Structure 1
């Protein structure tokens, strides 16, 4: 490893969770299982949404895109975590920047897609008679495309800002992946501009999306309260219960990581990060399939065709 005051360093060292060799096989088995469950579960959601004509609607179009983003999300970080079994915690400089770039891309994409899905539920409940007209295929494709473009631009901007930094001798990252904030703190050059850009992106993109979600659900609650029958209210709430649970998991775990990094050690932050980087993408398929009769029926038909 080049220890000089030079940006052309060769590698970083990911410290991960524990140095205890007895825990390495356990961590390997745990993360491998979670990765396989996440990929398989989200892949089934995509296959069911694509193959079943009953699921060719905006809600399931956005859900299949979210599942694809979750597969890519976990595939960005977990494979590096599986190196605990081979004791290889070293990641190249290029590999680290690439991992950080893709991580930011897919976490941003998750964020935007959840916002788009909240808007979809808002239109479905507040404007049911105009739903098919408003949420037409062209608008759905446009919303997904904009989500991709904004995510790519943000990840490229943050990565380019990191490339301008100078790194010295302390190249140990107290995390299991190349997290933006951790990399910035390793730099021995001025990081003020990086911090400003990073926090502005969090406020504008994260805060803006959360505000949009909260606004959508405030309108949904107002519309549901105006429904006279209890059965109608339950049906309206059930259509957005799964999405609301996924949103709560995503934002609560992200907030937990932020509070953990601010008040506890970096290792505590790494442990908390597992919740939104691994656990939440793994739970999403179960949340949507267990509470959704249409997906259950589509999965049964898919399994019958596969036999």
Structure 2
């Protein structure tokens, strides 16, 4: 009997010690599930209450840090969008004047070369401004308010037509193409970027394969491929796996960042697989929608 009572007493003590620990664990799981803003319950005045208060102080600092970083990101996005808008007008003036001089001006060869260089630089700046404005829009979380049903087959087919050499170089495979909810012009930008990129990085005689299955679109090339160390950074802004080739093709370094931004704004994901000497496949997966 004495042993039994001692065992019961031990169980009581252990249970009493474990109860606040379980409460801390439950609170931690609740905060993890809910995200920012949660706090630990402070019960009593023992060591567990002190621990809960310490953890709450840490969570408060984390939330403040997150809010500060978010505010800085929002300010950066606003600056990017505002600066891009402000650049559109002077760039249009530069393009108009260089075009007029090249068309009507009696220019020496050196003067003509200089104006052509200015015109080319303005063209590249126009592309950069356009891409920055697109990225600023993908950061706007209210985009889905403008979503409409989009037939992927028609969207992909039109995107192929919009790419130089697209009709001649692209082999399209269809398997029960689906419907997605989105902004057609933005999704078309995704497919144009991927198809154009695949053509530019393939040999002149190599076909580019575009497969459409349900709400999944794959763009596959048989080019040089991309080294493994570059793959985690491909969708970073201004990242160039091959800077010399990007310069030759006139890219801004934002094409794949735009692809990811638009796809994620539509609730989807984009993945890449590549092997040097074999080729590269980009896979876009979008949430399925319903025909209107």
TM-score by length of 2: 0.31
Larger Rg: 2
Q: By percentage of residues, which structure has more helix?
A: 1
Higher strand proportion: 2
- TM-score between the two structures when normalised by the length of structure 1: 0.30
